[in-house]
Structure 1
Amino acid sequence: MGGRAIAVLIMLFLFQTLNFFDKLVFGLSAVPMMKELGLSPKEFGLVGSSFFLLFSLSGMAVGMFVVGRFPVKWLLLIMAGVWSATQIPIFFSGSIAVLVICRIILGAGEGPGLPTALHACYNWFPADRRSVPSAVVLQGISVGLLAGGPILTYVIVNYGWRTGFLFCGLLGLAWMLGWFFVGGEGPYSAAHAPEAAVAKDKALPARVLWGDPTVIGVIIMSTASYWIVGMSATWLPPYLQLGLGYKQVDVGWIISGIYLFQSPLLLGGSWLTQALQRKGYSLRACLGHASGYALLAAGCALLLSIVTSGPLQLACIAIAFAAPSLTTIFGPVALGAIAPAVQRGRLIVVIYSGNAASALVSNALTGWIVGEAGSNVPLGYAHAMTFTAGVLIVGAISAFALIYPERTIARFARAAQEPASPSAVAAVST
Structure 2
Amino acid sequence: MPSPESLTTGPTVPARAYAVLVMLFLFQTINFFDKLVFGLSAVPMMKELSLSPKEFGLIGSSFFLLFSLSGMAVGLFVVGRFPVKWILMLLAAIWSATQLPVFFSSSVMVLVVCRILLGAGEGPGLPTALHACYNWFPADKRSVPSAVVLQGISIGLLAGGPLLTYVILGHGWRTGFLVCGLLGIAWMIAWSVIGGEGPYAAASASQDSPAASPNVPARVLWCDPTVIGVIIMSTMSYWIVGISATWLPPFLQLGLGYKPTDVGWIISAIYLFQSPLLLSGSWVTQVLQRRGWSLRACLGNASGLALLIAGCALLLSIVTSGALQLACVAIAFAAPSLTTIFGPVALGAVAPAAQRGRLIVVIYSGNAASALFSNALTGWIVGAAGSNSALGFAHAMTFTAGVLIIGAVAAFALIFPERTIARFAKTSSPSSSATILPATST
- The answer as to 2:164 corresponding to 1:164 is no
Matched, 1:353 2:365: yes
State the partner residue of 2:341: 329
**For the residues of structure 2 that align with 1:407 and 1:97, how far apart are their CA atoms?**
50
What are the within-5 Å matches in structure 2 for residues 18-417 of structure 1? 18-121=30-133, 134-180=146-192, 182-185=193-196, 188=199, 191-192=202-203, 201-416=213-428
How far apart are the structure 2 equivalents of 1:321 and 1:201?
38
| Structure 2 runs not aligned, ≥5 long | 1-12
Cα drift, residue 118 of structure 1: 4.3
Q: Could you tell me which runs of 5 or more consecutive residues in structure 1 were left unpaired when the two chains were aligned.
A: none
In 1: Cα distance, 2:345 partner to 2:142 partner: 15
> Counterparts of 1:246 and 1:134 in 2: how far apart (Å)?
34
- Indicate the SS of the match to 1:204: coil
How many residues are aligned here?
425
- Give how far 1:197 is off: 9.6
> After alignment, is 41-50 or 9-18 more displaced?
9-18
| Range moving further from structure 2, 282-291 or 50-59 | 282-291
Comparing 196-205 with 310-319, which one deviates more in the overlay? Answer: 196-205
Amino acid at match of 1:26: F
Cα 1:308–1:400 change in 2 (3 A) is: same
Determine helix, strand or coil for the equivalent of 1:19. helix
- Partner secondary structure for residue 306 of structure 1: helix
Letter in 2 for 1:354: G
Structure 2 counterpart of 1:280, which letter? G
Residue 263 of structure 1, CA deviation: 1.1
How far residue 10 of structure 1 moved from its aligned partner, in angstroms, is 3.6
Q: Which moved more, 1:88-97 or 1:385-394?
A: 88-97
Distance 2:80 2:98 in 1: 26
> How much has 1:16 moved relative to structure 2?
2.0
Q: Aligned equivalents of 1:92 and 1:195: distance in 2?
A: 54
Partner AA of 1:53 in structure 2: L
Q: Percent identity?
A: 79
Shift of 1:84: 1.4
Instruction: Determine if contact 1:76/1:116 at 8 Å carries over to the other structure.
Output: yes
Q: Write the distance in 1 (CA, Å) between the matches of 2:131 and 2:357.
A: 12
Q: Give secondary structure in 1 for the equivalent of 2:428.
A: helix
User: How high is the TM-score relative to the length of structure 1?
Assistant: 0.90
Question: How large is the RMSD of aligned CA atoms in angstroms?
Answer: 2.7
Please list the CA deviations of residues 392-416 of structure 1 after superposition, one character each: whole Å capped at 9, or x if unmatched: 1111111112222222223333333
What is the alpha-carbon distance in structure 2 between the residues aligned to residue 126 and residue 411 of structure 1?
A: 24
User: Which segment drifts farther, 131-140 or 186-195?
Assistant: 186-195
Q: Aligned letter for 1:287?
A: L
What's the offset of the Cα at 1:7?
4.7
Aligned mates of 2:203, 2:435 — CA distance in 1: 29
Aligned partner letter, 1:334: A
Cα deviation code 1:227-268 (max 9, x no counterpart) = 001110000000000000001111111111111111111111
Deviation at 1:349, TM superposition (A): 1.9
With over 3 angstroms needed to count, the CA separation of the structure-2 counterparts of 1:100 and 1:381, relative to structure 1, is: same
Deviation at 1:12, TM superposition (A): 3.3
Counterpart residue number, 1:11: 23
CA 1:42–1:281: 2 relative to 1, 3 Å? same
CA contact (8 A) 1:123 1:185 kept: no
Q: Structure 1, residues 343-370: CA drift from partner, whole Å, max 9, x if none?
A: 2222222211110111111011111111
* CA pair 114-398 structure 1, distance change in 2 beyond 3 A: closer
Render the CA deviation track for 1:114-152: whole Å, top value 9, x for unaligned: 344445556666778766655443322221111000000
CA distance in 2, matches of 1:101, 1:269: 38
